[in-house]
Amino acid sequence: MEYICYCDKVTKQDIITAIDNGARTLKDIKRMTGAATHCDCANQNPKGT
């Protein structure tokens, strides 16, 4: 499983699914997945970036 947003546990597959379900903009993806709504990914990311 590959997380894109560590804070909200949104995976790459979640984003692909959102696009498949009609997301066309970043705003759509955020609304449909919850990504980037609790921005602390810099601290949550185990890669340190």
Q: What local confidence, expressed as pLDDT, does residue 3 receive?
A: 84
Q: What local confidence, expressed as pLDDT, does residue 25 receive?
A: 96
Buried b (16+ CB within 10 A) or exposed e, 4-25: bbbbbebeeebbeebeeeebee
Q: What local confidence, expressed as pLDDT, does residue 38 receive?
A: 73
Domain boundaries, the chain: 3-44
Q: What local confidence, expressed as pLDDT, does residue 16 receive?
A: 96
Q: What local confidence, expressed as pLDDT, does residue 1 receive?
A: 79
Low-confidence ranges of the chain (pLDDT < 50): none
Q: Give this prediction's pTM.
A: 0.75
What is the CATH number assigned to the segment(s) 3-44? 1.10.10.1100
**φ/ψ of residue 47, rounded to 5:** -80, -10
Q: What local confidence, expressed as pLDDT, does residue 19 receive?
A: 98
